Amino acid sequence: YLAGVATSTSEIKNVVTKDAIIVTLVSIIGVGLVILLIFKSFSLPVLLLIIIQASIWINTSILFVADMRVVYIGYLVIQTLQLGATIDYAVLLTSRYKEFRTENNSKEAIKKALNSSGISVIISAAVLAIAGYAEGLFSNISAVKEIGLLIGNGAVISCLLVIFVLPSALIAFDKIISKTTLKANFLTKPIKENNEITEVIEANEVIEVKEVKEEPNKNKKEKSRNEIKKSKSI
């Protein structure tokens, strides 16, 4: 117990546990600052980091549920690697959402954002997942296999959360995002109301045109009646 594998393993465990906390906090703060500068928003960094961190927690919790053992360094690697590699999915979708939100309501904007960037997110996640699973399935080193499987699972989970959870979160917190984002320029008036107004205006114009057309006809009829009366009197 004083020297050998047990002692070194215990020291590595203690060091990795402390390093994991420090590395996770530093990576979250660093990524959050980058997103803050890109979007100029206080709410979007928090929202995007929660989505990606949730995927990391799900990924690591699967190991506990499945009773799988992973080397200590695996947790340290996956905390930073999955965050850095998959935050791009959320950033891409959110940037497209902000772009379309200036001309559409929240639901239409997220539909267009998914149509324009959803395929890119899926392809990027698929490439990372395939690379991770290939490393996990064909490597002869146990530590490398475990980390590879974690990377593959992380890519898939992050993609699913970005495609299915992030859109709902963006719609739910749309007002908060608009208020906490510099020059958001989100569309405030619903499009349906504008369409209804234009339809009413067009309908009124049609009625006015009909009334204008009917007035000359009435004048002609009155003139013809007056002429008939004059002819009878003569």
Instruction: Work out how many domains the chain is built from and give that number.
Output: 2
164 and 203 both lie in a single domain = no
Q: Is residue 52 part of a domain?
A: yes
Which of 157, 180, 203 corresponds to the end of one domain? 180
Could you tell me if residue 215 is inside a domain? Answer: yes
Domain membership flag for residue 101: yes
Positive or negative, the CA dihedral 97, 102, 105, 108 is: negative
Say yes or no: 139 and 49 in one domain. Answer: yes
Residue 10 within a domain: yes
**Portion of the chain with pLDDT greater than 70, in percent:** 76
Least confident of 4-8, 36-40, 57-61, 201-205: 201-205
Cα 169 from Cα 52, distance rounded (Å): 13
CA 41, CA 173: separation in Å to the nearest integer? 13
- The per-residue pLDDT for range 163-191, each reduced to its tens digit, is 999 999 999 999 999 999 998 889 886 55
Are 170 and 197 in a shared domain? no
Q: Are residues 162 and 222 in the same domain?
A: no
81 lies in some domain: yes
Asked if residue 101 lies in contact with residue 186, where contact means CB atoms within 8 angstroms, the answer is yes
Our measurement of the distance from residue 25's CA atom to the centroid of its chain's CA atoms, rounded to an integer in Å, reads 23
Same domain, 94 and 210: no
Strand partners, 160: none
Give me the domain span that covers residue 217.
Answer: 191-234
Both 85 and 200 in one domain: the answer is no
Q: Which of 52, 191, 171 shows the shortest CA–CA distance to 106?
A: 171
Under DSSP, the state recorded for 67 is T
pLDDT tens sequence across 45-58: 999 999 999 999 99
Instruction: Tell whether 89 is covered by a domain.
Output: yes
C-alpha 172: how far from chain center: 11
Residues 141 and 208 in one domain: no
Give this prediction's pTM. Answer: 0.74
User: Do 9 and 95 share a domain, yes or no?
Assistant: yes
128 and 213 in a common domain = no
Q: Assign residue 150 the CATH number of its domain.
A: 1.20.1640.10
> What pLDDT, in 10s, does the model give residues 61-77?
888 887 777 777 777 78
